[in-house]
Structure 1
Amino acid sequence: MAVLVVLLLQFAIPAPIMQAPRWLLPALGLALLVPLVWTNPFHLVMDEPWLRKIELVLLGVVVLINAIYLAGMIIYLGEGQSNDGKVLVKAALLIWVTNVVAFAVWYWEIDRGGPFARMPDHEHEEERPDLLFPQMTADIPGWQGWLPGFTDYLFVAFTAATAFSPTDTMPLTARTKTLMGTQSGISLLTIAIVAARAVNVL
């Protein structure tokens, strides 16, 4: 559902920001989403190696779409056509929200081998954590055996996009540090360049 929301948001990107047909890039992402929904429509019950590869490709497509829109926004600003503050604010907000949700799904997918591997009764080989949550570092009554859910990863992505750095949850592996650095960079460019110019115009 989170990925579907992100793909639908692409149709709301203002036309001056993206000259190509709006449906083209979201359609590519939607084509990758169909096998995931078909295999696990409501609950995680079927795990296939090829399915995880599709998920990772899907996430790459979503992030690429967002990066293309951000690049289009920067070019739009550089050409001196940024006189409509409402267009800039709308585009910046859509890019920022897409950035948060896309990376939240990415963290959810790679941490400890993915959602199936994190299940208590999983049959996968145990993988080391990619993210260190506070619940994992303290012996707090009622939190024994705690496992992160999608909301936890969404919060990690949200804080990384607002603080431009980790907050309460630390990245442990190189791949997670790379993802979080990329996410923070996209967010910083969106806010510092696009949003700042939009506020100046308004």
Structure 2
Amino acid sequence: MVATARARRGEARLPSALVVVVAIALYALLPEQLVIGPRLVIPGLEVALLVALVCVNPYRMTRDTPWSRIAALTLVCLIAVANAVALVLLLRQLVTTGSDEAVELLIAAGQVWLTNVIVYGIAYWELDRGGPVARTHLPRVRLPPADFRFPQDEDADAIVEVRIRSSRASDWVPTVVDYLYMSLTNSSAFSPTDTMPLSTRAKVLMGIESTSALFISVLVIAKGVGSLGQ
């Protein structure tokens, strides 16, 4: 009965839409030297894709079509590529620019880092176990192999008050908040924490995310210390 009720409702659309809007806004507000082409072209394309996806599932994630999956993954790739280019340009600016622009670049580094957290969290959310619609609408035996192992997937034999929240007892499935938290901890600790990658693509994505976060952190600290010393 738990699975039936959850399948009928699906995951709420609003949280994922809001974090994508934040990622789009963060890119649009970057300094001119970190933006590809005209400032609003890439954000405009991202907004168009997001609007189309919201039209398919305006309130809850209950419908999945081949084109909507392509649109969702295209949106993730567009945000990821634009942010990756901004990261490369940021690293060059941090190395070559004087202290007079240090504050602007340090703020931009925060924007790039936060966008990194969001886009990888959304990527994990879209890819794991077939995506948000499949996770709530397909029986577990029909789900694609999991890309990640969450703590709830291992708690079936724990004490009662912990076991009650396990995947087996409550039919729990991860939502966008769980993937964003995983992305945040991966970018902060530069490695997995409580959620382990299982598939090759999950390990590659987490490795790229943690490496880019490490580069940002190291160069931001170096730039900040250098600016204080001048």
- TM-score of the pair, normalised by structure 2: 0.81
1:77 maps onto 2:94 in alignment = yes
What residue in structure 1 maps to residue 59 of structure 2?
A: 42
- The correspondence for 2:84, drawn from 64, 67, 72, is 67
How far does residue 20 in structure 1 lie from its aligned partner after superposition?
3.4
**Could you tell me whether the CA contact under 8 Å between 2:155 and 2:163 is conserved in 1?**
no
How far does residue 195 in structure 1 lie from its aligned partner after superposition?
4.2
- The correspondence for 1:138, drawn from 155, 160, 184, is 155
Q: Give the secondary structure class of the aligned counterpart of 1:83.
A: helix
Q: Give the secondary structure class of the aligned counterpart of 2:114.
A: helix
Instruction: Give, in whole Å, the separation in 1 of the partners of 2:68 and 2:98.
Output: 43
Matches of residues 41-190 of structure 1 in structure 2 within 5 Å?
41-121=58-138, 125-139=142-156, 140-143=162-165, 144=169, 145-190=171-216
Which structure has more helix as a fraction of its residues?
2
Cα RMSD (Å): 2.0
Given residue 130 of structure 1, which amino acid in structure 2 is its aligned partner? D
**Could you tell me whether the CA contact under 8 Å between 2:116 and 2:209 is conserved in 1?**
yes
Is 171-180 or 23-32 further displaced after alignment? 23-32
**Could you tell me whether the CA contact under 8 Å between 2:36 and 2:82 is conserved in 1?**
no
**Could you tell me whether the CA contact under 8 Å between 2:148 and 2:197 is conserved in 1?**
yes
Given residue 191 of structure 2, which amino acid in structure 1 is its aligned partner? S
How far does residue 192 in structure 1 lie from its aligned partner after superposition?
1.0
Given residue 48 of structure 1, which amino acid in structure 2 is its aligned partner? T
- TM-score of the pair, normalised by structure 1: 0.91
**Could you tell me whether the CA contact under 8 Å between 1:63 and 1:99 is conserved in 2?**
yes
Given residue 63 of structure 1, which amino acid in structure 2 is its aligned partner? A
How far does residue 146 in structure 1 lie from its aligned partner after superposition?
1.6
Q: Give the secondary structure class of the aligned counterpart of 1:119.
A: helix
Q: Give the secondary structure class of the aligned counterpart of 2:178.
A: helix
Identity of counterpart residues, as a percentage?
37
**Could you tell me whether the CA contact under 8 Å between 1:104 and 1:157 is conserved in 2?**
yes
Aligned length: 202
